[in-house]
A and B are shown apart, each in its own frame.
Chain A
Amino acid sequence: MLGWELKRYLFNTGAMLVVMYLIFLGMFWGVKSIGGADVETSSLDSMVIGYILWMSAMFSLQGTGSVVLSESQRGTLEQIYLSPLGADMIFFFKSVTSTLFNFLLLTFMLYLTMFTTGRVLSVNLLYFYPMLFISVLSLNGIGFMLGGIGLIHKRIGAVNGILSFGLIGLMLLRVYPLNGFSFIPFLAGAHTINAHIVHGTSFPPWWYVFVAGNSLFYLAMGLLLFRVFEKRAKKLNKMGQY
C-alpha cells in the first residue's frame, strides 16, 4: 500500500524528498559555515548520524500507533481484524516494512547529499544498519504498546509527540558503562552506534548482547501488551468505534 500511496500522492512524496534533502544539505553546509573550514569531521558525522538515528526512532515509535489510529479513523480497522493472518502480524509486518523503507530513503538522501556537497562521511554501513535495525526494534515494541492503547482510547497523537521529542533529550543520557538509563529502550543501541561510528569506540561482546536483549525485550513486551489491549478492546466493543 505504501507504494500506491507514494505514487498516488506524487506531489507530497516529492515535497517530502525535497525537504529531507534540504535538511541533509543544511547539516552539511551549516556545520561548515558556522564552524568554519577547520570544523572537526567528527562533529558533522555525529550530527548526521544523530539525525538518522532520531528519524528512524520516530518512524519506529510512531509506526504501529499511527497505523492503528489511521485505520480506526478510516473505518478499516475491523477489516484488518478479519484477516486470517492476524492483526498483530499485519501491524508487525507494516511496521518492519516501514522501518526498512525509511532506512532506504535516509540512505539515499545521505548519499545524494554527499555527492552534491562532495563531502564524504566515514560511515561503515555494514555496521550501522544492522545495529540500527536491532536498536529500533525496541521502539517498534513501544509503538505496539501505543497502538494497543490506541485501540481503546483512539486519540494518542499527543503521547506520540511527547515520546518522539522526549527521545531527543533521553539520547543525551549516559548509558555506558551499564547503569539504570541503559535499560531505557533504544538508548543503549543509539549510543553504541554513535560512539562506534563517530569516535571509533569499541564495546565488549556482552554489551552487544545486552543491546539486542534490550530491544527484543521491549518488542516482546509491546506485542504482549498489544494483545492485552486487543482483548480489552474486543470485550468493550471498541474496534469499530472512533
Chain B
Amino acid sequence: MTTAGSPAITVSKLRKSYKDLVAVDGISFEAYHGEILGILGPNGSGKTTTLKSILGLITFDSGEVTALGMDARKRSRRILRETGAVLEGARNIYWHLSPLENLVYFAGLKGLSKQDILERADMLLEQLGLNEVRDKEVRQFSKGMKQKVALACAFIHDPILLLLDEPTLGLDVEISRQMRDWLRESVMERERSILVTSHNMDFIESVCDRVLIIKEGRILSHETLESLKLRFASKTLVLELDRDPGSECLNGLAEVGQVTSDTQGDSCQLRIVLDDPMGLHAVTGALAEADSVIRDFRTEEKDLEEIFLSMIREEEQPCES
C-alpha cells in the first residue's frame, strides 16, 4: 500500500460549492507515495477546500476522494490514523502548553499513550531544533518556532499522509529552508505522501516533485516541475545577432510570435515568444535571408513564480489528468 509511486490520494471530479460560489469545480488528481505535491493558486482558488475535503473537515457535493486505498467518506477515522495535518499554522497548537506537552496531547488525540510516543517526541524535538525549549511555554516562541511545533505535532504519530496548508506563511528564509530540508528527508523516510499549499514559490519549487496549479476551483496545470518549466521555457527564444536584421525581417518574424529587439552598436538581441516550436525554422530562415548571423542563442527559463503568474493571467484551459 505504501510503495513509492503508488497513489496515496486519488481525487476524482471533486466539487464543492457554497450557494452560488463554486469553490472546487470537479478537479481530479493523484498524489503518490514518496512524493511531495504542491498546490498553488491565488487566494480563493480552492486549495484549502481541497485539502479539507480530503481530511473530511468539509463535506463535498460530489466526486470521490480515496486516501490510502480507502473511501474518505466511509473510512475517514481509519484514514485519520495515518494522517497528519497543519491547517492554521502556528494556531494549530496550544500556546499555553510546552512543545512536549503539545506532542503528548496530540499523540493522545491520535489514540497513542504517553509511553508510546516519548521516544518519538524526543526525536522530533531534536530534529526540529526544539529540544532546548521543550518545556517552555509555546506562547513565548517566534512564529517560526511555533510553526515547527505544529509540524512536530502533525508528525507525532508517524503518519503516512501529511497535508500542510501554508506551512511557511510568515516564516523567515532560514526557518523555511530548515523546514524544506526536513520535509524532504521525512518523505523519503517512510515513502510518505505530502500535499502542501503555499504562496512561497521558492519553497514549493525547492521542495515539491510535482505542482498542481488551480484557479477558481479548476486545475490549470498538473505536472512535474521539470515538465512545467520545459513547457514554458521552450516558448521564449533569445538570440544574439551580429547586427539588426531590419524592420522588414522583424515584421516577418512577428507572424511567428511576439518579437522584441534591442540593438546596441554592432549587436542585436532578439526575444521571440514562439506560439509554436515549429516556428523556429521560419525564424532561422528569415534571419539568413536578412544576412543576420546568430552568434548565440538560449531558451529563457522562467522560475515557478513567473510560470504561475503567466498561467494565472493567461487562464489556460483546464487540463484533467
Contacts and interface: CB of A to CB of B under 8 A. Distances in A.
Contact of B88 (A4, A78, A80): A78
Interface in A11-45: none
B83 interface: yes
Given A1-B105, A8-B96, A82 B80 contact: yes
A239 interface: yes
Given A84-B111, A234-B58, A240-B87, A79 B106 contact: yes
Interface residues of B, number: 32
Contact of B91 (A76, A80, A90, A239): A76
Interface in A30-89: 74-76, 78-86
The B contact surface, by secondary structure, is mixed
Q: How large is the interface on A (under 10, 10 to 19, 20 to 34, 35 or more residues)?
A: 20 to 34
A37 B95 CA distance: 52
B30 interface: no
A24 to B, nearest CB: 29
Nearest to A237: B58
Nearest to A4: B101
Contacts of A86: 77
A74 B57 contact: no
A1 B78 contact: no
Given A4-B97, A8-B97, A84 B110 contact: yes
B137 A76 contact: no
A231 interface: yes
B109 interface: yes
Nearest to A231: B59
B98 to A, nearest CB: 8
A86 B80 CA distance: 10
Interface string A78-120: 1111111110001000000000000000000000000000000
Given A5-B96, A8-B137, A237-B18, A75 B91 contact: yes
A235 B59 contact: yes
Contacts of B221: none
B94 A82 contact: no
The 10 A-B pairs of least Cβ separation, nearest first, read A75-B91, A83-B109, A75-B88, A84-B80, A234-B59, A84-B77, A84-B81, A235-B59, A237-B58, A239-B57
Interface of A: 1, 4-5, 8-9, 74-76, 78-86, 90, 231, 234-237, 239-240
